[in-house]
């Protein structure tokens, strides 16, 4: 049963993450699953999670174990600046409703956003200055 409550997530260590294959469905035991890749932890600013992209790992992806029914989501991210690399922050439901933000690697003054609702898509490009 979902409970609506505010939450702030930081990563003082890696204890809030579990690999997706070991996640048992208990969202009180872990807040995030590691779906792909190997995130790294830093001690900067109380703990940052670094998601690494290499030529062989196809990037790193983590997913929340909590549902977000409404509200505001804020994240701080750094993107790569290489051709063919897209940094993305995505919210997605079980039925694939989706809101995402994407930063194309070589277009450092551009962000793109898409949202999908019941099979319909709308895409927008935003130029940053």
Q: Which residues are catalytic?
A: 98, 102
The answer to whether 33 and 62 are in contact (CB under 8 A) is yes
Q: How far apart are CA 70 and CA 89, in angstroms?
A: 17
Structure tokens at 50: 């670094």
What kind and span of H or E run contains 113? strand 110-117
């Amino acid at each position: 049963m979902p409970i609506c409550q505010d939450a702030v997530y930081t990563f003082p260590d890696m204890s809030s993450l579990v690999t997706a294959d070991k996640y048992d469905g208990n969202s009180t035991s872990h807040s995030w699953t590691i779906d792909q890749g190997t995130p790294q932890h830093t001690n900067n600013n109380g703990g940052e999670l670094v998601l690494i992209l290499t030529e062989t790992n196809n990037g790193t992806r983590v997913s929340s174990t909590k549902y977000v029914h409404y509200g505001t989501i804020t994240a701080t991210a750094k993107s790569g600046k290489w051709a063919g690399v897209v940094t993305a922050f995505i919210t997605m439901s079980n039925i694939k409703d989706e809101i995402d933000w994407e930063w194309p690697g070589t277009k450092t003054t551009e962000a793109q956003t898409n949202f999908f609702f019941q099979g319909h898509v709308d895409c927008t490009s935003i130029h940053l200055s």
